[in-house]
């Protein structure tokens, strides 16, 4: 298994950056002069494809962290062949509201200087190939994952919106949240922490502060997993809310 934790951290960091690249972020980039409108005359769809390809490549390059483990690939689709656009001296690429440069998306192009101003959208596919853990066999829902259940392979992180779980420390010992199939790359929604106690179980709560520490027993009002927020009913009828700790106790802030 890969042991360089910084490697996985860099990969996760870029995923969070890339998945959140929205129109507002790129407007600020354009305002800073990093992504300028392209001066050209539109003669064919190939021109629009070149403008789009260049814009997306530069945008990804500027937002790619140093030493990122991801290998980006961009492919640009075509407009409807029946569409006829008038020549344009300056085109401005833009990311539509709600769109992001991740997976199947689209980029807008608008004519700023021409006899007829127009605005069109080109389909774009952004792939991000990087290390991931791929299941070697089927895993039933509720089964705990071990190191033997997955092998490291390169996959397209952008094939789905859900984040890849690149660090094995974050999935070994976790439980399948649904039936999983061989060949699937592990992503966050596929996993959950193992259940520590059932609803109605007697659990111990603990609270610490400056100069004090409290420990008591209460009844869990619902099943609890590590890291989950749960409600506990105390013997006096008061209901407290806390977080399930690694040792199964409930940490409460008073």
Residues 221 and 230 sit within 8 Å (Cβ to Cβ): yes
145 vs 193: CA distance, rounded Å = 11
Q: Is the pLDDT score of 19 beyond 60?
A: no
Helix/strand/coil for 164: strand
Tally of CB atoms within 10 A around 10: 19
DSSP 180: B
Share of residues in the chain with pLDDT > 70 (%): 82
Q: Is the pLDDT score of 163 beyond 90?
A: yes
For every residue of 87-120, DSSP letters joined together read: -EEEEEEEPPTT--SSEEEEEEEEEEEESS--EE
Least confident stretch, 37-46, 139-148, 215-224, 234-243? 37-46
Could you report the per-residue pLDDT of 22-71, keeping only the tens digit for each?
434 444 334 333 333 343 334 445 578 888 888 888 888 887 777 788 89
Q: Is the pLDDT score of 225 beyond 80?
A: yes
């Amino acid at each position: 298994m890969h042991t360089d934790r910084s490697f996985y951290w860099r990969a996760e960091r870029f995923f969070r950056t890339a998945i959140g690249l929205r129109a507002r972020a790129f407007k600020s980039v354009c305002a800073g002069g990093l992504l300028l409108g392209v001066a050209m005359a539109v003669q064919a769809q190939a021109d629009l494809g070149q403008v789009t390809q260049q814009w997306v490549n530069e945008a990804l390059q500027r937002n790619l962290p140093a030493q990122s483990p991801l290998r980006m690939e961009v492919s640009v689709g075509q407009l409807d062949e029946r569409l006829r656009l008038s020549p344009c001296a300056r085109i401005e690429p833009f990311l539509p509201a709600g769109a992001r440069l991740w997976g199947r998306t689209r980029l807008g192009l608008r004519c700023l200087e021409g006899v007829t101003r127009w605005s069109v959208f080109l389909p774009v596919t952004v792939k991000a190939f990087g290390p991931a853990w791929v299941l070697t066999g089927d895993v039933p829902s509720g089964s705990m994952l071990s190191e033997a259940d997955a092998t490291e392979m390169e996959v397209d992180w952008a094939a789905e919106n859900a984040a890849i779980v690149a660090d094995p420390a974050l999935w070994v010992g976790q439980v399948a949240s649904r039936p999983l199939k061989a060949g699937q790359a592990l992503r966050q929604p596929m996993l959950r922490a193992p259940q520590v106690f059932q609803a109605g179980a007697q659990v111990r709560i603990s609270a610490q502060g400056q100069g004090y520490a409290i420990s008591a027993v209460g009844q869990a009002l619902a099943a609890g997993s590590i890291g989950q927020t749960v409600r506990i009913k105390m013997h006096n009828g008061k209901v407290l809310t806390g977080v399930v700790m690694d040792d199964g106790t409930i940490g409460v802030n008073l």
